[in-house]
Structures are given as structure tokens and as C-alpha cells.
Amino acid sequence: MKSVSRLLDLIVHSLYSHKEVFLRELVSNASDALDKLRFLGVTDSSLLADGGELEIRIKPDQDAGTITITDTGIGMTKDELKDCLGTIAQSGTSKFLKALKENKDLGADNGLIGQFGVGFYSAFLVAEKVVVSTKSPKSDKQYVWEAVADSSSYVIKEETDPEKMLTRGTQITLVLRPDDKYEFADPGRIQGLVKNYSQFVSFPIYTWQEKSRTIEVEEDEETKEGEEATEGEQKKKKKTVTEKYWDWELANETKPIWMRSPKEIEKTEYNEFYKKAFNEFLDPLAYTHFTTEGEVEFRSVLYIPGMAPLSNEEIMNPKTKNIRLYVKRVFISDDFDGELFPRYLSFVKGVVDSNDLPLNVSREILQESRIVRIMRKRLVRKTFDMIEEISEKDDKEDYKKFWESFGKFIKLGCIEDTGNHKRLAPLLRFHTSKNEADMISLDQYVESMPENQKAIYYIATDSLQSAKTAPFLEKLVQKDIEVLYLIEPIDEVAIQNLQTYKEKKFVDISKEDLEMGDEDEDNKETKQEYTLLCDWVKQQLGEKVAKVQISKRLSSSPCVLVSGKFGWSANMERLMKAQTLGDTSSLEFMRGRRIFEINPDHPIVKDLNAACKNEPDSTEAKRAVELLYETALISSGYTPDSPAELGGKIYEMMTIALGGRWGRPDNEAEAATTGEASTDSSEATVTEVIEPSEVRPESDPWRD
């Protein structure tokens, strides 16, 4: 007998990870009892006589430390008590279904919940003693089953107390353990558990709750001096007071909307259900209601929320509790880690209800199987259909709201779900060089491409402003070629994972070997003319750049720094440096080579070309090359190694350029430029003439 006690203890404390599920199991058993009675009552109406409504009532008693669960279902005879409660893992529901299947004339009822025969024993998670009083319409007598936790025996006796007699059904009384008494005897806690786990059970569930109401009562008013009470009665006046009382309250008033036909349900009903089920205040952007049949059968209602999560913890978190799984309308779990939805669709909210899922015995864990993978595939497909419907609406405001809230999720999908690239890519939206105010789709970009354009061009930066002013764009804009602006950190990685769209390659315009489709014929002559300059600049910059070459992408800027084909772009390098747990050792390796491109049409480059031919050892020319390189670093999106050193060089150039321009005394101008440049002694000193308008009067407070 000790082995039986140990087995019971193992079942109770090993199968269930949360104590609170005891109420779910007992309410499910009560629901099954009511379902059985309703089914059998179709052929034998006498079973339903004198038993009242089909319902479940739960009454917690904080003073006594008990919970009483009463149903008006089929009840049990003495033999059934022995068979179902006296035998571990013996499911009365399972036997009932088996009998129905054998009798094909009656048909089978798939609405019954129990299947393992251990749900009743979950009562011992919180109870030290369980008393079951039951009356079956098949028997004239009422029996009581009683057992104590950690005991290997139970008692069955006939009920003789007239006050405890039931018309029909079962009453379970749990005497709670001292540690669980304060939590589970609380009416508010019981109400919350019923709403969470059993909100959509098809029978009404009432809980015993404390309520308050305002009533008017009469109070005596003192008679003023000199006045006499009329007929010996004092004057009366009324006042309002709050009165507390206990009464039954319906706990599962929300109906399972997914069990109805979509044709019968109005949009307002879907919105109302969404707000109640998920505690939302905004209407959803979209919803879909469907039933799937075949290898796995389930019903589902999915919603796209009206706004993004307020908490940062919920963003990109697969454990958002947004998908609630039900089996036969009984809540099973909302704690999934990507089993039903991928991480990038974790913002979708909804319910999934099936009659037959691969659950473990505790009905808490959805076991991984082929059926689960099929469910996931269909749920994802329906979600894409729902998002596409929003994007195809004539009113673009809804999709604009969706993109502002959940655009990052879709981009994450491009990275994590290669199998759905064809469905994800059309949903993407970007600013472009031709559409800076509004965002466009990749379809719109491709439709507006010139016939000779073979690629989709993009630039990745940290803001829209820096994208618009990037030197890489100059020649492309001049040739009327549209460029995508990738301004969010995730954008570049998402596009790199897509690689192509409608057979058009994505091309980063900040990388080397940019092809624009129509190369200039005189480019070779220009290259030959500036070969000496390129070699000379490379000699000055040394290992800072891999090579120096004539640029095909510049029109107004003197130079630009582009990254190699296979290394990080400037934007990616910036992002990787900002990673808290980034590997600094890999930065140098992944940074890739840098190519310094010069614009042969710019005056600065022409001057340097003359300098390298006529005075290649000029200090000023060499300093100009250094400053040009470091300026190109910044304009190309890179970070200079020493910002302070760059600042010093700029200050020096400003001093030379501005020295004495607005009337500063010659000796100060000379002192400022001492050591900066050498002056040929043969050259005559030119005295700067200050115009009278620039001479400050004696009364000028800013005069030196």
C-alpha cells in the first residue's frame, strides 16, 4: 500500500509544475460531467429531471480554509466512485468516449476534456483532505468518497445528512493545506484562476464573491429647540451608505468567439473580444478567423494589435504570452518559445483551440511533433495573409501604422526566416532618394526603374539626413537613379540576407566596383592622366588605404572613402563597435580594406595633381592630402582614429585662411602663422591696406 501512496505523490508533484492548475482540472472534470449528462439526456430525458440548470459553482471559505466545487452533472454511483477515484489513471471520460465509439448509432461527442485519469488527483497539490459527495440519476442513494493526502486508503460511505443532500451531480470539498489556505481560499484569486483557465468552458461557472451596493437608510434628525415633534414622531431624513454582501457572480461571461461561424460575427464583436481577452484599449489593425482541417484540426482567431508593445522587454521576445492555446476551450498555456510562432511574429495576438493536440499528461506542455510544425506553418501563412490585406488597402494609413509599430519585426523575419523571403520582401518599406517624405515598397522601386538598370541600389546610414547628403549618391542622383535609404540598424543586415528581389541584386553604393550601367568612354583617358596622382596619394597615406583610384560616383565632392566588396560597410563598422559584447579582435579582420576615390573634376584634386607633378615634396600638399583623407573618413560615415588631431589640423588651416582678413594687426597674424609656412626671402612683403570702413572708432567697446 505504501507503493500506492508513493505513486500518487509522484503523479501529483511531478506532473504539474504550478499548483494553481488544480482548479482547471477539477472544473474540466465538472464540465465533462455536465457534457455527459447533456449527451445522455438526448435519449433519456428522465436524467435531466429535477436537477436544475447545468452549471458549476465554486465557493471558497477563508475562515474554514476550504474550497467547494459543485456541478449538476451526471454524478457517480458507488461502483463508479471506486472505479474512477479509487483507481489511479482511470479516466471515466476516456471510457465514456470508448463506449460511444463502439455504439456508432449514437455518434461521438468530441467536446469532452479528460483523457488521462489523473486530473482529479491534482487536488492534492493544495489539499490535505478531499471529500467528494456525489448523486447519480441512476441511483437513489448519495455517496461520499473521502481521502487524506499522503494516505494509501480512502473511505466510501452513504450520505445520511439531509442538509448535504444533492438533487444530482457532484460536490468536491478541498480542505486546504496551511501553506495554501491564504492564497487559494481567497475569492479574488479563485475568480482570477477561473477567468484565466476556464473562461471559455461551455457551461456557466459561478463563484462566491463579496460585493458592495449603495442603499438609502433613514436616520433621526434632532428636533430644534422651540419645535415640537409632529404626532410624537421625530423628523426623518435619508442618507446613502455602502453595504457589503456575498452573492454568486458569473466568472465566464466571455463566449468563445472562435467556435462560431465567421459569417455570423460582426467586426465590433471581434474587436470587443480582443479587448477583453488581451486587456487592450485600442481596436486591432486586422484580424483573421479560420478553421483548419486535415492532418490537424484547429480553430483560431488572430489579431494584429493597434500599437507596438509599450514595454521594451516584450519587443522581439518570443515569450510574450500573446498566443493562448486551448484544448476543447480549456486554457492550456501561453508560455511558448517559438513552437507556434517565430520570434519575428511574436507581436501577433490570438487564440488557438484544438480538440486533439500532442500534450503531455499534465496538459501544460505542447510536445514537439510533426503536428505542431504543421500548425505553426498554417498560423504563419494566415498571419502573412492578414498583413498583406492591410498593405493592399486603398487607405494606406493602416499599413503606415502597422509599419511604424512592427516594421522592425518584418525586417527581423528577413534575417531569421529564409523560407519566407518571398512573402516578407514585398512588405518592406523604405525612404528613397526620390521619396524622402513617404516610404515605398520594393515593388514600387522596381516598377520605376529604367530599363538599363540592373540592380537595386541602397545606402546604409544612421539617419535620413546623413543618407540624403552622403557623397556616394552624387552621380546616381545626377543620372536619375533611385537609391534606397537604410536608416535603421537592422536594415542593412536584412537587405544582405535577401540578396535579390525579382532577380535584381541589392548593391551597396558605398562599396567598391560600383557599376551604374553606362560607363563614360573617356574614363580610361582620365585614369591615365591621374595615375601619377593616385600613386603619389597612396604613398602619402600608406597602409591607411588599400588603393587610390578615380571615382565614378562623385560629381561635387573631392573624394570619398569606400569599403571593399567583402568587408563591413562604414555603417556596419559603426554598429559593431557599439555592441556591448562585441569582439574587438574581430573588428580589424572584418573591417575590410578601404579604397580612397578622388574626383578628377574637383579643383582641390586638380591642384594636388599639379603639386605631385611640380612639387611632390611640398609640405603643404602632403598636409592637404592628410586632411582630405580624414575629412573623407567623416563624410563617408567612418570614425576618425583621433578626432582631436583632426580638429587641430582644421584649426591650423582656418588660421592660415583667416589670418588678418578682418583687420587683425600684422604682428599678430605673423605670430599665428610662425612655423606654419616658409616665405621666400626674395619676395617683397605686401602690406595689407585696411579700408576706412574696417577701422574701429575709439568708442567701440569690442576694440582691442
Closest by Cα among 148, 140, 147, 130 to 165: 140
pLDDT at 656: 79
Neighbour tally for 664: CB within 10 Å: 15
Strands 483-486 and 154-158: unpaired
Q: Check pLDDT > 70 for residue 6.
A: no
Q: How many Cα atoms sit within 13 Å of 587 on the Cβ side?
A: 13
Topology of domain 257-391 in CATH is: Ribosomal Protein S5; domain 2 (3.30.230)
Q: Check pLDDT > 70 for residue 441.
A: yes
φ and ψ at residue 491, rounded to 5 degrees: -60, -50
Topology of domain 428-519 in CATH is: Rossmann fold (3.40.50)
Distance of alpha carbon 480 from alpha carbon 482, whole angstroms: 6
Q: Check pLDDT > 60 for residue 351.
A: yes
Q: Check pLDDT > 80 for residue 298.
A: yes
Q: Check pLDDT > 80 for residue 314.
A: no
| Cell numbers representing residue 493 in the block | 543586415
Tell me which H or E stretch contains 175. strand 169-176
pLDDT tier at 237 (50, 70, 90 boundaries)? confident
pLDDT tier at 234 (50, 70, 90 boundaries)? low
Q: Check pLDDT > 90 for residue 548.
A: yes
Tell me which H or E stretch contains 276. helix 267-278
Q: Check pLDDT > 70 for residue 580.
A: no
| Cell numbers representing residue 180 in the block | 495554501
Distance of alpha carbon 187 from alpha carbon 209, whole angstroms: 6
Q: Check pLDDT > 70 for residue 79.
A: yes
Q: Which residues are known binding-site members for ATP?
A: 25, 29, 71, 76, 91-92, 115-120, 170, 363
Distance of alpha carbon 18 from alpha carbon 132, whole angstroms: 23
Q: Check pLDDT > 70 for residue 510.
A: yes
Tell me which H or E stretch contains 484. strand 483-486
Q: Which 3 state secondary structure label does DSSP give 45?
A: helix
Distance of alpha carbon 428 from alpha carbon 202, whole angstroms: 43
Q: Check pLDDT > 60 for residue 191.
A: yes
Mean pLDDT confidence for 651-669: 72
Determine what percent of the chain is predicted with pLDDT higher than 70: 78
Distance of alpha carbon 218 from alpha carbon 679, whole angstroms: 110
The chain-wide mean pLDDT, for the chain, equals 82
pLDDT digits (tens, 9 = 90+) for 95-107: 545 555 555 544 4
Which of 9-18, 555-564, 654-663: highest mean pLDDT?
555-564
CB 413 within 8 A of CB 420: yes
pLDDT at 451: 86
Q: Which 3 state secondary structure label does DSSP give 49?
A: coil
Helix segments in 578-618, DSSP class H: 584-590, 603-614
Q: Where are the domains positioned within the chain?
A: 1-206, 257-391, 428-519, 524-654
Mean pLDDT confidence for 81-99: 61
Across 76-80, 164-168, 173-177, 336-340, least confident range: 336-340
pTM for the structure as a whole: 0.76
Across 428-432, 440-444, 551-555, least confident range: 551-555
CATH of domain 1-206: 3.30.565.10
More confident residue, 484 or 643: 484
Identify the burial level of 313 via C-beta atoms within 10 angstroms of its C-beta, where 0-12 means exposed, 13-18 middle and 19 or more buried: exposed
More confident residue, 100 or 36: 36
pLDDT tier at 108 (50, 70, 90 boundaries)? very low
More confident residue, 90 or 262: 262
Q: Check pLDDT > 80 for residue 518.
A: no
DSSP designation for 511: B
pLDDT at 651: 87
Determine what percent of the chain is predicted with pLDDT higher than 90: 40
pLDDT digits (tens, 9 = 90+) for 412-438: 999 999 999 999 999 999 999 999 889
More confident residue, 337 or 146: 146
Mean pLDDT confidence for 240-262: 88
The residue type at 498 = L
Distance of alpha carbon 44 from alpha carbon 38, whole angstroms: 10
pLDDT digits (tens, 9 = 90+) for 352-365: 998 776 555 444 55
Q: What is the DSSP string of 305-364?
A: -SS--SSGGGTT-S----EEEEETTEEEE---SSSSS-GGGTT-EEEEEES---B-TTS-
pLDDT at 371: 77
Tell me which H or E stretch contains 597. strand 594-598
| Cell numbers representing residue 326 in the block | 486551448
pLDDT digits (tens, 9 = 90+) for 195-220: 888 888 889 999 999 888 888 877 75
Distance of alpha carbon 265 from alpha carbon 641, whole angstroms: 64
Q: Check pLDDT > 80 for residue 339.
A: no
pLDDT digits (tens, 9 = 90+) for 450-480: 888 889 999 999 999 999 999 999 999 998 9
pLDDT at 696: 52
pLDDT at 87: 62
Mean pLDDT confidence for 398-416: 93
pLDDT at 446: 94
pLDDT at 361: 44
pLDDT at 682: 43
Q: Specify whether domain 524-654 bears CATH 1.10.12.10.
A: no
Distance of alpha carbon 288 from alpha carbon 351, whole angstroms: 11
pLDDT at 507: 93
pLDDT tier at 629 (50, 70, 90 boundaries)? very high
pLDDT at 355: 78
Buried b (16+ CB within 10 A) or exposed e, 22-50: bbbbbbbbbbbbbbbbbbbbeeeeebbee
Q: Check pLDDT > 80 for residue 684.
A: no
Distances, alpha carbon 643 to alpha carbons 426, 572, 627, in Å: 42, 20, 12
More confident residue, 409 or 682: 409
Q: Which residues are known binding-site members?
A: 25, 29, 71, 76, 91-92, 115-120, 170, 363
More confident residue, 70 or 373: 70
Identify the burial level of 278 via C-beta atoms within 10 angstroms of its C-beta, where 0-12 means exposed, 13-18 middle and 19 or more buried: middle
CB 439 within 8 A of CB 346: no
